[in-house]
Structure 1
Amino acid sequence: MKRHKKPEKEANHERWLITYADLITLLLIFFIVLWTFSNIDAKKFAGIAESLAKALGGGAGMVLEGPGPSVVAGAPVSEDRVETKFNLSAETKENLQLQKIKEQIEKYAKEQGLAGKVTARIEERGVVVSIQETVLFPLGSAELTPQAREIVRKVGQILLTTDNYIRVEGHTCDLPIHTARFPSNWELSVARATSVVEELLHAVHFPPERLAASGYAEYRPIAPNNSEANRQRNRRVDFVVLRSRYKETEPGVLPEFFYAKPKIAP
Structure 2
Amino acid sequence: MKRRKKRIDKGSPKWMVTYADLVTLILVFFILLFSMSQIDLVKFEAVAESFRNRMIFDTFPSTLEMDNPTENSEPRIEDEGAEDTKNNLSESETEVIDTNEQTNSEIIENQDTLDELLAEIQSFLNENDLQNTITANRTDQGVVLILQERFLFDSAEAEIKSTGEPFLDKVGILLENIPNNVRVEGHTDNRPISTLQYPSNWELSGARASSVIRNIIASSGSDESRFMAVGYGDTRPIVENNSEENWSRNRRVEMVILELNQDFE
Alignment counterpart, residue 202 of structure 1, candidates 218, 221, 224: 218
Partner of 1:239: 255
Secondary structure of the 2:197 match is coil
Report deviation, 1:228: 1.2
Partner of 2:58: none
CA 1:164 to 1:108, structure 2 compared with 1: closer, same or farther past 3 Å?
A: closer
Q: Is the CA contact (8 Å cut-off) linking 1:102 and 1:122 kept in structure 2?
A: yes
User: 1:179 aligned to 2:195?
Assistant: yes
Q: Deviations over 1:217-258 (max 9, x none)?
A: 0001111111111111110001001124742x54xxxxxxxx
CA 1:98 to 1:150, structure 2 compared with 1: closer, same or farther past 3 Å?
A: farther
Alignment counterpart, residue 127 of structure 1, candidates 135, 143, 151: 143
Report deviation, 1:116: 4.6
Unaligned runs of 5+ in 1: 1-57, 59-88, 251-266
Report deviation, 1:141: 0.8
Q: Tell me, in whole angstroms, the C-alpha distance in 2 between the residues paired with 1:149 and 1:140.
A: 18
Q: Tell me, in whole angstroms, the C-alpha distance in 2 between the residues paired with 1:204 and 1:187.
A: 26
After TM superposition, the score normalised by the length of structure 2 is 0.55
User: 1:102 aligned to 2:118?
Assistant: yes
Alignment counterpart, residue 141 of structure 1, candidates 129, 133, 157: 157
Asked which structure has the greater CA Rg, the reply is: 2
Secondary structure of the 1:202 match is helix
Q: Tell me, in whole angstroms, the C-alpha distance in 2 between the residues paired with 1:204 and 1:120.
A: 20
Q: Is the CA contact (8 Å cut-off) linking 2:172 and 2:219 kept in structure 1?
A: no
Alignment counterpart, residue 182 of structure 2, candidates 160, 166, 169: 166
What is the identity percentage for the equivalent residue pairs of Structure 1 and Structure 2?
38
Q: Is the CA contact (8 Å cut-off) linking 1:105 and 1:155 kept in structure 2?
A: no
Report deviation, 1:154: 1.0
Secondary structure of the 1:146 match is coil
Report deviation, 1:182: 0.8
Secondary structure of the 1:95 match is helix
Q: Is the CA contact (8 Å cut-off) linking 2:136 and 2:146 kept in structure 1?
A: yes
Q: Is the CA contact (8 Å cut-off) linking 1:128 and 1:240 kept in structure 2?
A: yes
Report deviation, 1:100: 3.6
Partner of 1:188: 204
The letter for the 2-side match of 1:151 is F
Q: Tell me, in whole angstroms, the C-alpha distance in 2 between the residues paired with 1:116 and 1:219.
A: 25
Secondary structure of the 1:224 match is coil
Secondary structure of the 1:99 match is helix
Report deviation, 1:91: 4.3
Q: Deviations over 1:56-95 (max 9, x none)?
A: xx9xxxxxxxxxxxxxxxxxxxxxxxxxxxxxx5544543
| Aligned Cα root-mean-square deviation (Å) | 2.2
User: 1:225 aligned to 2:241?
Assistant: yes
Report deviation, 1:104: 3.9
The letter for the 1-side match of 2:195 is T
Q: Tell me, in whole angstroms, the C-alpha distance in 1 between the residues paired with 2:130 and 2:179.
A: 26
Q: Is the CA contact (8 Å cut-off) linking 1:171 and 1:235 kept in structure 2?
A: yes
After TM superposition, the score normalised by the length of structure 1 is 0.55
More helix by share: 2
> When the two structures are aligned, how many residues end up with a matched partner?
162
Q: Is the CA contact (8 Å cut-off) linking 1:105 and 1:119 kept in structure 2?
A: no
Q: Tell me, in whole angstroms, the C-alpha distance in 2 between the residues paired with 1:227 and 1:193.
A: 24
Q: Deviations over 1:157-197 (max 9, x none)?
A: 21233222100000001111111111111110000000011
Q: Tell me, in whole angstroms, the C-alpha distance in 2 between the residues paired with 1:151 and 1:105.
A: 14
Unaligned runs of 5+ in 2: 1-103
Q: Is the CA contact (8 Å cut-off) linking 2:136 and 2:143 kept in structure 1?
A: yes
Q: Is the CA contact (8 Å cut-off) linking 1:101 and 1:159 kept in structure 2?
A: no
